[in-house]
Amino acid sequence: MSKNSNNNAKNRKAIVSESAGWILTGGRVVDRTGERIADVAIAPDGTIAAVGVDLDLKALGLTKAPVLDVTGCVVSPGFVDIHTHLREPGREEAETIESGSRAAALGGYTAVVAMPNTEPTIDSVAVVRQVLDAGLAAGLCDVRSSGSITLGREGDALSPMAELAAAGVRIFTDDGCGVQDDRLMRRALEYASGLPESVVLAQHCEVEALSHGGHMHEGEWSSRLGIPGMPAEAEELMVFRDIALSRLTGMVVHFQHLSTAGAVALVRDAKASGLNVTAEATPHHFTLTHAEVASYDPVFKVNPPLRTAEDVAAVKAGLADGTIDAIATDHAPHTDDVKEAPFDHAPCGMLGLETALALGITELVEPGVLSMTEFIAKMSWNPAAIARIDGIHGRNIQADEPAHLVVFDPALEWAVDPSALASKSNNTPYAGRVVRGKVRHTFLCGVPTVLDGEAQR
């Protein structure tokens, strides 16, 4: 266990010391073993004491534990977001680690991996520690730090990967852009394969020579709207290259935010050929298309861009057949004033942490694209494994496991209201959209970070 994890554990113990435990009754318990109706008892030490029907609370020493009736709700391992922009350090006006952690907790997340495109870049141990410390101080979510593959995300020289890994980094990425230089990417994979920790290189796939100057998906709508486009092939070429480099180096590559039918097909074929690659998709890439940009509202500007209806269908098919392992939010807060710029001047990105669960239920589970268990797999234990935190997160709900849990009502209908979100920013593309599925309680190490839909700190 890394030094970082030890720190986390010690700190949590301080938080939970006054707890009397919690009892969740009548919930639909879902984990990788399947689902059943059961009560869940959480011990004062932050672990799960027992799971079952007719629990003997006296024997468990939990007679003073408050009881929450969660009948009708799903109780599952807390969600893990492996793609979160927390903006701190550098852009604290858009989000802080605290406000982002609160948004995460309200979205049902018990762990997030902060992306490294901060100012300064997360390419040194000092910035990693700053992020981890701020996460612990906020105490709302297990905040992990990624590290950049290249110094300053400039694509020229490798970051000190061994130092960063020793400080707790497990995902390396230049997210925001892809590593353009083929040789440098090969070297990064080879070098990472020799680290004592198990790490993964995650790629934002975009060949900039082809996407240069583009602000939306290149196609029917970009042509009509007169906005320079980014062709699907810019993403697919880098997916293709990294599959080749994964084969060459024997290293795992994780593909971030797949958005095109061609990219999904490449990853599907690579997996079929036995290659060890993983992939994620965002809620916006399985719910929205480039037609949204007709409003010229930069809230719909994101990278990779919103693509065609066929691409959306392909992303859903990739989620359904297991090509895409995880749902990741790419939560990317921006203040109103920078988003109220001309479309081609506005920054890319949209909020995601507080809407991912509802969009997944409304657009994937209810229409039958995924079963509830398959959906939660992509929200919890699959991303936990990709982030190398599956020893702690995404665990089965059974005695002695850490109580990182989410309790959500899958049927609760609500309308997305940007100003009601906990994020410091308002840039959700779903304003006014009616969705189903809302978090009721979130437990981090047995401590409620969210209770009855309210953040606890």
Residues taking part in catalysis:
330
18 burial level (CB within 10 Å; 0-12, 13-18, 19+): exposed
CA 231 to mean position of chain CA atoms: 25
- Give least dist CB 234 to another protein, A: 12
- Smallest separation, CB 303 to another protein (Å): 17
Site string (304-343) toward another protein, x via CB under 8 A: ---------------------------------x--xxxx
Instruction: Give the DSSP H or E segment for 450.
Output: strand 447-451
The footprint of another protein on this chain (CB under 8 A) covers a number of residues equal to: 22
Nearest to 107 by CA among 392, 393, 440: 440
Q: Which stretch binds another protein (CB under 8 A): 79-87, 215-223, 347-355, 382-390?
A: 215-223
User: Considering the complex, what minimum distance in angstroms separates the CB of residue 346 from another protein?
Assistant: 10
Give the residue with the Cβ less far from another protein, 153 or 301.
301
Q: How many helices, marked H, and strands, marked E, lie in the chain?
A: 16, 19
Q: Is residue 225 close enough to count as binding another protein by CB under 8 A?
A: yes
String of contacts with another protein for each residue 134-153, x by CB under 8 A: --------------------
Which of the stretches 46-54, 225-233, 326-334, 351-359 binds another protein when contact is defined by CB under 8 A? Answer: 225-233
Which amino acid is present at 153? R
Q: Tell me how far apart the alpha carbons of residues 84 and 118 are, in angstroms, rounded to a whole number.
A: 11
The answer to the question of residue 226 lying near another protein (CB under 8 A) is: yes
List CB contacts of 359: < 8 A, sequence separation 6 or more.
283, 286, 287, 430, 435
Minimum gap (Å) between residue 94 Cβ and another protein? 15
Cβ atoms of 174 and 155 closer than 8 Å:
yes
Residue 292 in contact with another protein, rule: CB under 8 A: no
> CB under 8 Å to 58, separation ≥6 — which residues?
none
Counting every residue written for the chain, the total comes to 457
Window of 279-287, 290-298, 352-360, 417-425 that interacts with another protein by CB under 8 A: 290-298
- Residue 92 CB, nearest approach to another protein (Å): 19
Find how far residue 417's CA is from the centre of its chain.
21
Task: Quickly tell me which residue has 């998906």 as its tokens.
Answer: 217
Q: Rule CB under 8 A: choose which of 17, 90, 154, 296 binds another protein.
A: 296
Question: Interface with another protein includes 182 (CB under 8 A)?
Answer: no
Interaction mask 228-267, another protein, x per CB under 8 A: xx-x------------------------------------
Cα angle 131, 134, 137; round to 5: 150
Which 341-370 positions form the footprint of another protein (CB under 8 A)?
A: 341-345
* Residue (of 159, 171, 250) closest to 204 by Cα position: 171
Identify which of residues 3 and 345 has a Cβ nearer to another protein in the complex: 345
Q: State the amino acid at position 180 in one-letter form.
A: Q
Least distance to another protein, CB of residue 210, Å:
12
Residue 82 and residue 383 in contact, taking contact as beta carbons nearer than 8 Å = yes
Per the CB < 8 A criterion, the answer to whether 356 and 379 are in contact is yes
Smallest distance, another protein to C-beta of residue 337, A: 5
**Positive or negative, the Cα torsion across 340, 345, 347, 349?**
positive
Name the segment binding another protein (CB under 8 A); options: 146-154, 291-299, 357-365, 374-382: 291-299
Residue 52 engages another protein in binding (rule: CB under 8 A): no
Chain residues binding another protein by CB under 8 A are 218-220, 222-229, 231, 295-297, 337, 340-345
